[in-house]
A and B are shown apart, each in its own frame.
Chain A
């Protein structure tokens, strides 16, 4: 049960709105980092990759500010009920966003190696498709957060399954390329780490969606969603 009414102490509203706008800023930067890092890979654009790596500092700095502000609100305002859930959720969401930023930065780092290598046909486009899907999920998760829309957050949670499927397919594909020609191994190892990292981003976005459900309903959603990453059980055929 969440109240849309204003606090009698209006400074409390300003504090909570301030932290949440930091989250939105972080979210915008992370979305850009995901798309740009994938684009830098497809276009072999080292300049863009360098830009993504540099921009991660801003994301890290914002996470720190979110945590400081959250600690301040807890100390000074002793938030309870939905206010408490808001503060707890911003702390967790900023952590999830920061990790996504790190993965995007890592993708950009690998781009500068991969520009010098011959990539298997179509692989960078598959990576970008996966990155776009995760970015779209993140966008919806953040919209769900802003609008306190638990139903939208639930759809985001379910969509993580698609990302897992894409990762499974890429995993198989890279294995095949490596078996075909050992000269593919360096590129495919890097591409595989990239795919794995994007899959992990999907998990962080799912966690953000779960925080939205918690924020709105007061309950962490049950584990009732499809799990698609089966590569942990993959063995040579």
Chain B
């Protein structure tokens, strides 16, 4: 495909593989994904199967495309005008770029947590209750209360905030804010959680708490985490994908990547060599 064609493409013009079935055990199935930002080719023919109830880490140097690829998985790139996505991305076998898919509904199913904790300037309660409310997931106030409590418990922050649910979310510490954002993400009962460097603004204690949480979330969700910390990828993930210059270079079980990577570029990057 030449860039000229790509420039004119929108996300709905992408190549659709003919009814590709989801691979067994995989939650997300991506085939031949390409992303352009204007003329910049950010993701090059990436195909990957992401397993359910597993933490998958995306690692790679800045600008390698890992965050871009992550944002394809809940169509966050739709919000960037110059971005063009081609290829086939399916969740449970369903094409998420199909015309009848509502991106807002998709993002309730595929939650996202960002690098910098970004609670709404609202109370702790409202931060968590917002998603379930707009998606109509609660029939009553009691229902909503239950969802809020369950989400805050799931994000391992309930005990710290249960007595001040009406206090502003922005008044919490950085680590608490990030766990609040995780509670907000799980409140809409997603099946997949995308995390873009969720611990980079946190101290080591808060990082440990979030990592512990990620490990617990794995029981219910497929978690995909982008991280610059190699040690974090090694600690929390079961599968690791290494991106370099827009290519998916190596994708394997995490212990394999960190003891005996098969590609020289992976080795150079994870051992801190110029590569």
Contacts and interface: CB of A to CB of B under 8 A. Distances in A.
Given A7-B272, A12-B272, A80-B270, A1 B264 contact: yes
Q: Which of B262, B264, B273 has the most CB of A within 10 A?
A: B273
Sorting the interface of chain B by its residue count into under 10, 10 to 19, 20 to 34 or 35 or more gives: 10 to 19
A81 B274 contact: no
A8 B259 contact: no
B274 A8 contact: yes
B18 interface: no
A5 B260 contact: no
Q: Which of B262, B271, B273 has the most CB of A within 10 A?
A: B271
Contacts of B13: none
Interface in B220-275: 230-231, 234, 258-264, 266-268, 270-275
A80 B259 contact: yes
A8 B273 contact: yes
Contact of B267 (A8, A78, A82): A82
Nearest to B263: A1
A219 B260 contact: yes
Contacts, number: 54
Interface in A104-127: none
A7 B270 CA distance: 10
B262 A1 contact: yes
A75 interface: no
A78 B268 CA distance: 15
Interface in A2-27: 2-3, 5-9, 12
A218 B260 contact: yes
Contact of B259 (A3, A7, A9, A81): A81
A29 interface: no
A204 interface: no
Contact of A5 (B234, B263, B275): B275
Given A3-B275, A80-B234, A218 B267 contact: no
B264 A218 contact: no
Contacts of A3: 264, 267-268, 271, 273, 275
Contacts of A218: 259-260
Contact of B274 (A5, A78, A82): A5
A83 B260 CA distance: 10
Contacts of A192: none
Nearest to A214: B260
B244 to A, nearest CB: 14
A7 B273 contact: yes
A185 B57 CA distance: 67
Sorting the interface of chain A by its residue count into under 10, 10 to 19, 20 to 34 or 35 or more gives: 10 to 19
The interface residues of chain A, by DSSP majority, are classed as loop
A110 B138 CA distance: 86
Contacts of B264: 1, 3
B271 A7 contact: yes
Contacts of A9: 272
Interface string B48-87: 0000000000000000000000000000000000000000
Contacts of B270: 80-81
Interface string B82-109: 0000000000000000000000000000
A78 B259 CA distance: 12
B258 A80 contact: yes
A42 interface: no
B272 A81 contact: no
Q: Which of A3, A7, A79 has the most CB of B within 10 A?
A: A3
A82 B270 CA distance: 10
A55 interface: no
B271 A81 contact: yes
B268 A5 contact: yes
Contacts of B273: 3, 5-8
Interface string A178-220: 0000000000000000000000000000000000000000110
Q: 10 smallest A-B Cβ distances: which pairs? A: A218-B260, A5-B273, A80-B258, A3-B267, A3-B268, A83-B271, A7-B272, A1-B267, A81-B271, A8-B272
27 contacts: A1-B260, A1-B261, A1-B263, A1-B264, A1-B266, A1-B267, A3-B264, A3-B267, A3-B275, A5-B273, A6-B274, A7-B273, A8-B272, A8-B274, A9-B272, A12-B272, A80-B230, A80-B258, A81-B258, A81-B259, A81-B267, A81-B270, A82-B267, A82-B271, A84-B259, A85-B259, A219-B260
Given A1-B264, A6-B274, 14 more contacts: A1-B262, A1-B266, A5-B274, A6-B273, A7-B272, A7-B273, A8-B272, A81-B260, A81-B261, A81-B271, A84-B258, A84-B259, A218-B259, A219-B260
